[in-house]
Amino acid sequence: MSATIRVALTHVPLDPGALLSEVGRRDAGATALFLGTARDHSDGKKGVTHLEYDAYIEHVEESLRTIAAEASDKWAVLSVVVEHRVGDVSVGDPSVAVAVSSAHRGDAFEAARYVIDELKARAPIWKREHWPGGAEWVEGA
């Protein structure tokens, strides 16, 4: 049985409740949700006001599908949803979400961690931090 997989880049705010509902299934005993949120500081910079994300959309979606499929091959997951924001993200708002359901918690946790770690390493998504008086593109977004 293969997992249900959906990936998306979006300009609209992420909805964690909708993601949980989307991966929820009657045969799922576990759901793991990871949210990466914009924070007000980074590498000695305080007062970050917002983040800006840009991406090579077609390539990112292909990369995310590949990563989600790899996770479903490694762990017994039922559903995987990955969403990442593009454009401006306010401090405190989620910029990335990974939702995974499985029959057992270990598979859900491991698969979700794999997806976010591989996304950060392999997906061509760029992050720019903004603060009063400046902005800078950041390596390892």
Is the per-residue pLDDT at 140 higher than 70?
Answer: no
Task: Specify the pairing of strand 125-131 against strand 50-55.
Answer: antiparallel
- Cα–Cα–Cα angle for 125, 2, 122, rounded to 5 degrees: 20
pLDDT in tens, 97-136: 999 999 999 999 999 999 999 999 999 999 999 999 899 9
Distance (Å, rounded) from C-alpha 48 to C-alpha 99? 27
The CATH number corresponding to 4-133 among 3.90.1170.40, 3.40.50.150, 3.50.50.60, 1.10.3720.10 equals 3.90.1170.40
pLDDT in tens, 18-53: 999 999 999 999 999 999 999 998 777 789 999 999
Tallying the residues shown for the chain, one arrives at: 141
